[in-house]
Amino acid sequence: MGGGPAGLFVGYYASKSGLPFTIYEAKDRVGGNSITIKHGDFLFDSGPHLLQTKDIEVTNEITDLLQGQISKVVLPVQTYSDGKLVDFPFSPLNLLTTMGILFFARAAFQIARTRFSVKKGRNFEEFARHTYGKVMAERFLLNYSQRLWGLPCSELSPKIGGYKLRGLNITTFLIEVIRGRTAKVKHLGGTIYYPNRGFGTIAERLSEVCGARNVRTNSRVTSVFHDNFRIRAIELNGITIEPADEVVSTLPLNVLVQLMRPKLPEDVLTVAESLHFRALVLVVIFLKIPSVTESSSIHFPDPQVPFTRLHEPKNRSKSMAPDGQTSLVTEIPCQEGDEAWNMQDKELVSRVVTGLQKIQLIAAGEIIDGMVVRLDNAYPVLEVNYEQKIQQIRAYLDKFSNLKLTGRTGAFAYLSLHHIMKLAKSTVASYMSDKGYESERA
């Protein structure tokens, strides 16, 4: 259930194993929120997606899937602050050269002091302050995180920081001094790969491998029927009933719980209703200039800037824009139905253009066009103690012997593409090792 990368990779490995399957996708195309969109001669992704992994098996699998149409990319992720671009994850040398000796000394003192204090991490605010001290946390992390997630950082789990909150240490300092900025980027992030014609080509190729007869678009799951022990059937578009043998769900976890028939116990429904996903509005500006930035993406903690992040697709691959032209993809996190989500496209484009001009990234005469894309269920919001909620829901769902959950929305977890691939592979392997299936297949 679900034709995003998670569902498609399950189908991909099932296809390679000779295991029969059908993928049901609600939209008229596959890819979920990992798609590449065409606008005239421009291409852009639904976010600054990259394959970031040191896993050679995953790299080889994707390279084979895309028939070699993928390249290495080394670009810095940066944070914009008072007209300056600071590398993120942070590093000492870059912080010193961009923010100055006084700010650097103050930040370094606070960071050193936290090393000898009692570690606190009950929420993201405590975690950020303890990791980087007050001045760094307030300047770069807390405002940005509150804008992104729509909640005070005291209500967010420390896990929203992930692997990115590292790198500000003597090792990184020496690497940057001796070998330069590119070596630092590689050291912190591993090798980064990007498909030559956009990240969405991964989903497109997966769909091709799965086969058209096994991928059914415009097939929204509207009910999931069970007998308290197994999933017996699913309903599509409120009309068609399809019997179910084994089920892998990548649907948003709270949606899956609400679709179960008969209804699940009230305590499970209540917990599921308390889970939230963040939506995203993309505002894309097309420009008749060759380049704007040298970054992979740029974060904007300042609430006066009308977007939280932007990326320039052409920096990932020259194929993403015509010669002499480029585009900027900006992100506005929101909730479905709120002001940003419901705002007219023309007004959204105007606001973003004004914001880009104010920070002097573009000029009025450079603009060709603008476009708006809305993405629902973009990120699971990891609130404090969300793990207990997930554990309670999964403890109940585990009673269904033929149901597995995977994907960022299905598992309500931050999973990068290589994690999704490995989960899909292990899911299919578990079916293949089932003696009943092997016997029937033989």
Please state the rounded mean pLDDT for residues 396-412: 95
Q: What residues contact 303, with CB distance under 8 A and at least 6 apart?
A: 143, 147
As a whole number of angstroms, the distance between CA 62 and CA 69 comes to 9
167 has a pLDDT exceeding 60: no
Residue 162: band (very low, low, confident or very high) from pLDDT cuts 50, 70, 90: low
Please state the rounded mean pLDDT for residues 88-112: 85
Six-digit token string for 330: 């900006």
82 has a pLDDT exceeding 90: no
pLDDT at 432: 82
Angle subtended by helix axes 181-189 and 92-99, to nearest 10:
130
In 3D space, the residue among 282, 307, 374, 284 whose CA is nearest the CA of residue 336 turns out to be: 374
CB 255 within 8 A of CB 8: no
Residue 415: band (very low, low, confident or very high) from pLDDT cuts 50, 70, 90: confident
The hierarchical CATH code for the domain 5-34+199-275+385-441 is 3.50.50.60
Tell whether the torsion through CA atoms of 357, 360, 363 and 366 is positive or negative: negative
pLDDT at 293: 95
Helix ranges, 116-221 (H): 124-136, 142-149, 170-179, 181-189, 200-210
CB-count burial class (<10 Å; 0-12, 13-18, 19+) for 274: exposed
Cα of 60 vs its chain's centroid, Å:
22
Residue with the larger pLDDT of the pair 70 and 117: 70
Residue 12, number of CB atoms within 10 A of its CB: 25
As a whole number of angstroms, the distance between CA 327 and CA 322 comes to 10
Tell whether the torsion through CA atoms of 60, 64, 68 and 72 is positive or negative: negative
Amino acid residing at 38: K
As a whole number of angstroms, the distance between CA 136 and CA 110 comes to 9
pLDDT at 439: 45
> What percent of the chain is predicted at pLDDT more than 90?
72
10-14, 78-82, 141-145, 177-181: which has the minimum mean pLDDT?
177-181
What is the domain class of 277-380 according to CATH?
alpha beta
CB 71 within 8 A of CB 62: no
pLDDT at 189: 45
Reported as a single tens digit per residue, the pLDDT across 346-378 is 999 999 999 999 999 999 899 999 999 999 999
* Fold match, 5-34+199-275+385-441 / 277-380: no
Residue 437: band (very low, low, confident or very high) from pLDDT cuts 50, 70, 90: low
Reported as a single tens digit per residue, the pLDDT across 281-296 is 999 999 999 999 999 8
pLDDT at 118: 60
151-165, 171-185, 398-412: which has the minimum mean pLDDT?
171-185
Peptide bond into 322 cis (omega under 30): no
In 3D space, the residue among 194, 184, 264, 276 whose CA is nearest the CA of residue 224 turns out to be: 264
pLDDT at 116: 67
- Widest pairwise Cα distance in the chain: 72
What's this model's pTM, rounded to 2 decimal places?
0.90
3-class secondary-structure state, position 223: strand
Please state the rounded mean pLDDT for residues 243-260: 97
Please state the rounded mean pLDDT for residues 24-42: 97
Reported as a single tens digit per residue, the pLDDT across 130-157 is 888 899 999 999 999 999 999 999 999 9
CA distances from 11 to 60, 88, 299, 431 (A): 18, 36, 35, 12
Residue with the larger pLDDT of the pair 14 and 131: 14
Average predicted confidence (pLDDT) for the chain: 90
Reported as a single tens digit per residue, the pLDDT across 89-100 is 787 788 888 999
Strand order of the sheet with strand 297-299? 84-87, 77-81, 297-299, 309-311, 326-334, 277-287, 367-380
Q: What residues contact 263, with CB distance under 8 A and at least 6 apart?
A: 269
As a whole number of angstroms, the distance between CA 10 and CA 432 comes to 12
The 10 Å CB-count burial string (b at 16+, else e) for 157-183 is: bbebbeeebebbeeebbebbeeeeeee
pLDDT at 113: 79
Residue boundaries of the structural domains of the chain: 5-34+199-275+385-441, 86-192, 277-380
Reported as a single tens digit per residue, the pLDDT across 170-224 is 455 555 555 655 555 454 444 688 999 999 999 999 999 999 999 999 999 999 9
The 10 Å CB-count burial string (b at 16+, else e) for 322-336 is: beebbbbbbbbbbee
Cα of 383 vs its chain's centroid, Å:
17
